[in-house]
Amino acid sequence: MRMAQLSTTSGIPVATIKYYLREGLLPAGERQGPNQSLYGPEHLRRLRVIRGLLEVGGLSIAAAHQVIDAIDSDLGLSHTFDIAQRTVSPQIDGAALSPEAVAQVDAVLSGWHVSPDNPGRLAAARVLQTFAELGQPDLSGWVPGYAAAALAVAEADLDEIDARTDRESKTEMVVVGTVLGDALFAALRRAAQEHVSARRYPAPPNP
């Protein structure tokens, strides 16, 4: 299909598609002449991945580039997972973290197989350090519930990846699932907070 049709079918303006092409997020079409290229279903699919990562996942162009390169690479699943995780995690200098916060996280992750430079381990320590600086060093009633829920979600993530049969679909789920899974969980947490609040504090009847 031509650019105009790619735009109509995807619902993405031509100017935006040209921007993705210039940024190298979308591979070039098959050149038909000086001002015309043809695009196939793989371009349409890639456009939808790009939009999901940028608009729904909130990634920067640079971050989307990194994870899309990972989908296109021949890396194994665990390596792709590693790239996706690092791309969507804040860069944290482990040396700048307080030893107390790191020890708190390690106590929560006790018994888990987690390498010292796992981006989640450091990011979790950073959050706990922030609470400690706010005068809230004891979150022992709060954090374990998060860890148990995170483990359940990780099992669901791996179940979904295992259920896929072809390599491309698995890799795409690793990348898109890592990015959009955060957005999905945060969204469902808001809905669950309203539900739990309503149950705990029923509104008084109208007078």
In the window 16-35, what residues touch a second copy (CB under 8 A)? none
Q: How far is it, in rounded angstroms, from Cα 162 to Cα 197?
A: 36
Q: Does 93 bind a second copy (CB under 8 A)?
A: no
User: Closest approach of Cβ 72 to a second copy, in Å?
Assistant: 16
Helical axes 41-51 vs 61-72, angle rounded to 10°: 140
Q: Does 73 bind a second copy (CB under 8 A)?
A: no
Which CB atom, from 23 or from 155, has the smaller least distance to a second copy? 155
Q: Does 157 bind a second copy (CB under 8 A)?
A: yes
In the window 124-143, what residues touch a second copy (CB under 8 A)? 124, 126-128, 130-131, 133-136, 139, 141-143
Cβ pair 164, 170 in contact under 8 A: yes
User: Closest approach of Cβ 59 to a second copy, in Å?
Assistant: 12
- Kindly report the number of other CB atoms within 10 A of residue 198's CB atom: 10
Which CB atom, from 27 or from 142, has the smaller least distance to a second copy? 142
- Kindly report the number of other CB atoms within 10 A of residue 207's CB atom: 3
Torsion, CA 15, CA 21, CA 25, CA 26, rounded to 10: 100
Q: Does 200 bind a second copy (CB under 8 A)?
A: yes
